[in-house]
Structure 1
Amino acid sequence: MVTALYELFFEREFIHDIGSSVQRIALSFLLAVAVAVPLGVLIGSFATVSALLNPLVSAFRYLPAPAFIPLLLMWFGTGDEQKIALLFLGVIWFLVTLISDVVSNVHKDYIETSKTLGANRRLILWTVVVPASLPGIVDVCRQMLAVSWTYLVIAEIVAATDGIGAMMMRARRFVHVDDIMAGIIVIGLLGLLFDLLFRGIYWAAFPYLRKTT
């Protein structure tokens, strides 16, 4: 496997495949966060919005993202758009649900105190609920990014010419088990690297949550 990794990086331009996969993961996840955070905050903050959207979101959580591949191929073709859409669908519904749970669990005393001081609903949302929820939202995003990586190979096995998953499918065709194992190891290391990045962002953004010893 070590030999396979050497050959992949220095003889077969594997770094280009890694770059393509990272780009797909990053773009799809940023899109999912951009949609999920506002929806999750609204669902977790307002009972009316929750009653309207929560059943729909809950229903979509039970639909496996790979089941949408035929539709995505018809709508977006075989390019990057189809792969990014699949990665997006793999996390969006769970991300909305988890963020709404974080927002709904904001301590009620904060909200009641704000009401007592004369704050309206909009002011409470932006100055109390959102700041109190941010650490939990960042942590949820960190956890769901790991799920996004688990969909990578599925997204890249359909008509892909580059990416880690595409390399692994080519290796399967020629029974190169060492290349497949090397791809698995690289995905795991990339996932660990992104997890550490999120942890760094978390502790830099919320130093007051650091445990003192």
Structure 2
Amino acid sequence: MPMNAAYRSPADLPSTLPVFPLPGALLLPRGQMPLNIFEPRYLTMIDDALRNGHRLIGMIQPDSAHPGPEDRPTLFRVGCAGRITQFAESGDGRYLLQLTGVARFRLEHELSVDTPYRQCLVSYGPYADDFVARKGEKAVDREALLRALRDFLEANKLKADWDGIESAPNEALVNALAMMSPYGPAEKQALLEAPDLKTRAEILVAVTEIELAKGRSPGDVSLQ
């Protein structure tokens, strides 16, 4: 989705971000994520993000391997900044949003703040390539990705819009499939932290292979 704001480098993004910890949530650059906001602290966070003009929040997962207090879980070190590109009020106190991913960030440290939501000092420098749309597309093994997708859909008796899939650019295809994948927080974090699009696609294929193998008899043939 095109955005009214243009982000061309890490310098275009704020170094302080409000963060929304959400297990299993994966936002990637230029991907779209719908959100249903109902907790009072996050309603306040959205109000503030809209009021201050940058309309950015950081999506990040709690790190269940290193649990902290129940109301303040330890966070993974890598998340993704997203811009609020759609906003609606539900009429019953909720906000319905769509975030568009801008760039990944590294959490440097959490700030001591008075707001009910958490805020962190972040850096985008390690992910400067995120600002370049479709970077690394030619290195993606598209056939392996589509083969894994077909086998996953067949195994789960699911259908897909193949015309849309086959016409999608590699970046949009890899990131959309990663974001929609039904895998757990650890797998989602690995997909987020992949150094490039090629590696993200390879992780997605490998995780899909593993999941399919769990339901495969010993004599069945591998996907690849």
TM-score (norm 1): 0.22
Larger RCO, structures 1/2 (Cα 8 Å, 6+ apart): 1
Greater share of helix residues, 1 or 2? 1
What TM-score do you get using the length of structure 2 for normalisation? Answer: 0.22
Q: Which has the higher strand share?
A: 2
Q: Which of 1 and 2 has greater Rg? A: 1
